[in-house]
Amino acid sequence: MSQPPFRTRIKFCGMTRPGDVRLAGELGVDAVGFVFAARSRRRVDAAQAAAMVEALAPMVDAVALFMDNPAEEVREVIARVRPALLQFHGDEDEAFCRSFGLRYLKAVPMGGEASLDPLQLHARWPSAAGFLLDGHAPGEAGGGGVAFDWSKAPRGLIKPWFMAGGLTPDNVHDAVASTRPWGVDVASGIEAPDGVPGAKDGARMRRFVEEVRRADCG
Ligand SMILES: O=C(O)c1ccccc1N[C@@H]1O[C@H](COP(=O)(O)O)[C@@H](O)[C@H]1O
């Protein structure tokens, strides 16, 4: 029997402008992310994110991204932004991640030497909805356009996983074709290299989506 067609999920992260959020919905993106990590140049506050959610098309998820933020801050964002999903990039443990009563993705640094043990990941965050494999090294922030060696992507992950780090319209086809992730997540690669931090480039957003869909057809 032939396999049903697979549609790789797409998340655009680090949104800072309502117009970019609107275009993401028109392009058929599955989720957009708002960054609340203190160290990020894309950081927005809860009021800014709540205003951008107004521009979100129905059935497109808002994701709130944190990196070792205090629990009160996470709770305030949840109350004001109403995200569908949380994404944790720091040293947050299972108890912290699940304490907010929302589904969450746990980001895992793929830079550096350590290899990933899928069983260990599931054991450490059994309540995660999925994992996000990011290109940065342990202890560093993501969102820097750094890719990891895709051959290190684990084959035995049972939960859905997202490929992230250094994806662009030029390499995302090969990333998807070679690793077949559940989804892809991108921030820098859809921004103009010399543009305002966080501001997305419409042509790059469109081409990114086209390239993922081309890989889905392959
Ligand atoms: O985007 C950020 O500024 C950021 C800050 C701290 C942690 C994570 C962050 N972004 C996430 O990193 C991945 C990869 O980004 P990029 O495409 O390499 O720029 C991105 O998907 C965000 O989820």
Yes or no: say if 78 and 102 are a contact pair by the CB < 8 Å rule: yes
Average the pLDDT over each of 4-18, 81-95, 145-159, 169-183 and give the range with the smallest value: 145-159
80 lies in some domain: yes
167 lies in some domain: yes
203 lies in some domain: yes
Residues labelled catalytic: 13, 134
75 lies in some domain: yes
- C-alpha 49/C-alpha 193 separation (Å) is 23
Instruction: Tell me how long the chain is.
Output: 218
Q: Where are the beta strands (DSSP E) in 20-101?
A: 31-35, 61-66, 85-88
Q: Could you tell me if the CB of 134 is within 6 A of ligand 1?
A: yes
3 lies in some domain: no
| Owning domain of residue 107 | 9-217
Give pTM, 2 decimals: 0.96
81 lies in some domain: yes
User: What CATH number is associated with residue 193?
Assistant: 3.20.20.70
1 lies in some domain: no
Higher pLDDT, 120 or 181: 181
4 lies in some domain: no
Please tell me the total count of domains within the chain. 1
Q: How would you label 83-121 residue by residue, b for 16+ Cβ within 10 Å and e otherwise?
A: bebbbbbbebeeebbbebebbbbbbbbbbeeeebeeeeb
Q: Read off the pLDDT of residues 103-150 as tens digits, 9 standing for 90 and up.
A: 999 999 998 766 778 788 899 999 999 999 999 888 788 888 989 999
| Closest residue CA from atom 4 of ligand 1 | 143
List the structure tokens of 158. Answer: 């049972």
Distance 165 CA to ligand 1 centre (A): 7
